[in-house]
Amino acid sequence: MKKCVLVSGGAGFIGSHVTVELIAAGYDVVVADNMSNCDMTCFEGVKKITGREDIPFVKMDFCDMEAVRQLFAAYRIDAVIHFAAFKAVGESVEQPLKYYKNNLISFMNILESGCPNVLFSSSATVYGEPEKVPVTEQSPRQSATSPYGNTKQICEDILQDTVKASGGKLRGILLRYFNPIGAHPSALIGELPRGVPNNLVPFITQTAIGKRECLSIFGNDYPTADGTCLRDYIDIVDLAKAHVFAVRRMLDDKMEQGCEVYNIGTGRPVSVLELVNAFEKVNGLKLNYKFAPRRPGDVTAIWADPTLANEKLGWKAERSVEDTLKAAWAWEKHIAGK
């Protein structure tokens, strides 16, 4: 019998790409989302890409324990991948309780469901400003600089503790994403930020299409070769595939520890300016940009050592930054109807 994976927050950017890859790998998927930060565009795109009209979709809020109970009673769920969370760093500073309540309660409700396999979407933000790069999973976590980042750390701890206390009944995987960017090569699913984008690539594509006047590059006086920050930009399809490898490891009983942690990145640092230049080059256009002051809270440089994920999960990032930036641009044109 096919194993069934629940994707919470499955109508969003990462969740929709993960749903596509899980279905391609032969899993049944149940998508659940409260639609607080997305519309049905991506879920409709998922159905087109997979050719599957019958993917179960449940509109629900994971903070509602009764709704969570009903969901688990209605479907035979073997594993959960949990994405349903708020993710805007700045907003979390202004409205910390909104973030703590939503991101922590929804995750604890999932753990209370008793599902034996839980994968949590964590972030490289747990490493803060690292002393040494690239970072391995053993690199120390630093205290979070925003409530959003803190919810990632607390959820990591909640999962570790709950696995420990479960006496082998619960297995957990924490995937620490670096900077997910791009879109599906079909241009049918991608990132749909509401309002002014916080993240670099959606700001670039919206500037290129004319929705924004000018991209501000935050800081060109960092101690890096070109003065702009260094990040590890990971293609969204590559990132989605990492989830399939992780879920398989859980469901095939291959885990060596109750809770395993993996960096999901390329291992390749790219500066903001390099990314902007690559976007211009591969898409044959000029971007209106200017240098602006540093953005508070940004770290200078972080990229992954992905060796553990390469070796234990058998996963490796494959797509080039160029292909990823082409896909991001194709998606922006698709949603603009061009």
Residues forming the site for ligand UFG (CB under 6 A): 89, 123, 125, 148-149, 179, 198-200, 203, 215-218, 229, 231, 272, 295, 297-298
HEC string of 165-227 equals HCCCCCEEEEEEECEEECCCCCCCCCCCCCCCCCCHHHHHHHHHHCCCCCEEEECCCCCCCCC
Residue with smaller CB distance to ligand UFG, 49 or 133:
133
Q: Which residues are catalytic, by number?
A: 148
Question: To the nearest whole angstrom, how small is the minimum distance from the Cβ of residue 4 to ligand UFG?
Answer: 28
Which residue is listed with tokens 């902007």? 276
Task: Name the amino acid, one letter, at 62.
Answer: F
Residue with smaller CB distance to ligand UFG, 258 or 269:
269
Residue with smaller CB distance to ligand UFG, 91 or 298:
298
Question: To the nearest whole angstrom, how small is the minimum distance from the Cβ of residue 251 to ligand UFG?
Answer: 27
Give CA–CA dist 194/191, Å, rounded.
10
Which residue is listed with tokens 């769920």? 77
Question: To the nearest whole angstrom, how small is the minimum distance from the Cβ of residue 228 to ligand UFG?
Answer: 7
Phi/psi zone of residue 109: left (φ > 0), alpha (ψ -120 to 50 degrees), beta?
alpha
Question: To the nearest whole angstrom, how small is the minimum distance from the Cβ of residue 207 to ligand UFG?
Answer: 9
* Distance separating the N- and C-terminal Cα atoms of the chain: 43
Buried b (16+ CB within 10 A) or exposed e, 258-280: bbbbbbbbbbbbbbbbbbbebbb
What are the structure tokens assigned to 134, written together?
């690239």
Does residue 320 contact residue 328 with C-beta atoms inside 8 Å? no
Burial label for 160, CB within 10 Å (0-12, 13-18, 19+), is: middle
Residue with smaller CB distance to ligand UFG, 89 or 317:
89
Give CA–CA dist 128/111, Å, rounded.
27
Residue with smaller CB distance to ligand UFG, 45 or 180:
180
Residue with smaller CB distance to ligand UFG, 190 or 258:
190
Task: Quote the distance between the C-alpha of residue 68 and its chain's center.
Answer: 22
Which residue is listed with tokens 């620490």? 176
Question: To the nearest whole angstrom, how small is the minimum distance from the Cβ of residue 313 to ligand UFG?
Answer: 21
Residue with smaller CB distance to ligand UFG, 60 or 327:
327
Nearest residue relative to ligand UFG (C-beta): 229
Question: To the nearest whole angstrom, how small is the minimum distance from the Cβ of residue 332 to ligand UFG?
Answer: 15
Does residue 159 contact residue 172 with C-beta atoms inside 8 Å? yes
Question: To the nearest whole angstrom, how small is the minimum distance from the Cβ of residue 285 to ligand UFG?
Answer: 17
What values do phi and psi take at 41, rounded to 5? -50, -50
